[in-house]
Amino acid sequence: MRSKSGRPAVLMDVAMLAGVSAMTVSRVLNAPDMVRAETRARVLAAVRELDYRPNQAARQLVTGRSGVLGVVSIDTTLYGPATTLYWIEQAARHAGYNVSIASLSSLNRGSMEEGVERLRAQGVAGVIIVAPHESAADGLRNLSPETPVVAVDAGDDIPVPVAKVDQRAGAVRATKHLLSLGHETVWHVAGPADWLDANGRIEGWRGVLEEAGRPVPEILRGDWSSRSGYELGRRLVAEPEVGAVFVANDQMALGVLRALREAGRRVPEDVSVVGFDDIPESAYFWPPLTTVRQDFGEVGRLAFRLLLDRMEGAAPDARRLVEPELVVRESTGAAPRPGGTRGRQSRRGAKPA
């Protein structure tokens, strides 16, 4: 039943209906054990009768707790950030928190700080930052410490706890996989220069090649999009000796696959390709893509746990890594035997218009 008068019921209305004081109603809601069962039942009945909902603003004003946490994020349209955000929200809800978001449309020097500021003005209890950029890391450094903050996929040199996938380890696995297949070296289509993820993958890839004493080809820079993967792929097919490519995400890998096919290079017979992320579609690429799976869900949950620790004033050391996993499908295969029977002809110009 709705409130009798127009306006929604407040604590006092419930108290009067139940014949108790306002304080008792408050207690029933916040510390039920402290009130006698019979009284409690009467109050609860009144609550239902009036369809009473506590006013969060008033509660927050007096307790200082808002029960809301903020997520500032870059481009939640991308699969990774979107998935991370989703799982943060799930975890937060189960712990009784609501989440407010601030999406950054661009990432110039101050926009991240401004996002945090907006959330803080809202009175959030804590903030999770999903903006794996170098420049975001900059912004993080001069953040006032009043509000607990944790970051997702940020660098190691920032003053807040970080939940991240071990990008380097993922790249290492991808590169070693390719080497173990007999390829002499591995080309790399990387993400944008200011993305930490992109750089972590470069480091892992380069490390393996150097350690194995292999030549390190020049990096090709993409922007995560299939379009850029395609364009870079066309540059790759111009080099007949390219036999293995590690692409920094699955979308770009899709573009690379297409460029390869258009040039008449077979995958994996002529060229092996590894992606990164394991988006749900990549198992249905042609051929199904070997890639490195990132568990974004785990990252989201971990980030939330770190924030919770932080908000409860727990040890601030926690800074953990989520392990990525190589999932081998059909886009990688043994290197063609050098000088083998099957000529590695570069069919330049065979590309259909």
Give the strand pairing for 325-327 and 291-293.
Answer: antiparallel
Q: Which is nearer to DNA, 5 or 142 (CB)?
A: 5
Name the token pair of 345. Answer: 């002809």
DSSP notation for 39-54: HHHHHHHHHHHHT---
The CA distance from 289 to 281, in Å, is 9
226 binds, among a second copy, DNA, none (CB under 5 to 8 A by kind): a second copy
Give the side-chain half-sphere CA count within 13 A for 50: 23
Name the token pair of 118. Answer: 């907006």
Name the token pair of 271. Answer: 């060229």
* Residue 281 binding a second copy, by CB under 8 A: yes
* Residue 24 binding DNA, by CB under 7 A: yes
CB of 148 to DNA, least distance (A): 19
The CA distance from 123 to 20, in Å, is 32
The CA distance from 64 to 228, in Å, is 48
* Residue 35 binding DNA, by CB under 7 A: yes
The only residue of 22, 44, 219, 327 in contact with DNA, by rule CB under 7 A? 22
In angstroms, the first-to-last Cα distance of the chain is 69
Map the footprint of DNA across residues 49-68, applying CB under 7 A: 52, 54-55, 58-59, 61-63
Beta carbons within 8 Å of 159's beta carbon, 6+ residues apart: 140, 141, 143
* Residue 122 binding a second copy, by CB under 8 A: yes
If you ran DSSP here, which 8-state letter would residue 167 be given? H
Which amino acid belongs to residue 144? Answer: S
20 binds, among a second copy, DNA, none (CB under 5 to 8 A by kind): DNA
* Residue 89 binding a second copy, by CB under 8 A: yes
The only residue of 23, 280, 347, 348 in contact with a second copy, by rule CB under 8 A? 280
Q: Which is nearer to DNA, 121 or 315 (CB)?
A: 121
Map the footprint of a second copy across residues 227-266, applying CB under 8 A: 227, 229-230, 251, 254-255, 257-258, 261
24 binds, among a second copy, DNA, none (CB under 5 to 8 A by kind): DNA
φ, ψ of residue 272 to 5 degrees: the values are: -100, 145
* Residue 45 binding DNA, by CB under 7 A: no
* Residue 334 binding a second copy, by CB under 8 A: no
27 binds, among a second copy, DNA, none (CB under 5 to 8 A by kind): DNA
The CA distance from 334 to 328, in Å, is 13
66 binds, among DNA, a second copy, none (CB under 5 to 8 A by kind): a second copy
* Residue 11 binding DNA, by CB under 7 A: yes
Beta carbons within 8 Å of 48's beta carbon, 6+ residues apart: none
Q: Which is nearer to DNA, 34 or 328 (CB)?
A: 34
- Contact between 236 and 256 (Cβ < 8 Å): yes
Q: Which is nearer to a second copy, 37 or 121 (CB)?
A: 121
Footprint on this chain of DNA (rule: CB under 7 A):
7, 10-12, 19-27, 29-30, 33-36, 38-40, 52, 54-55, 58-59, 61-63
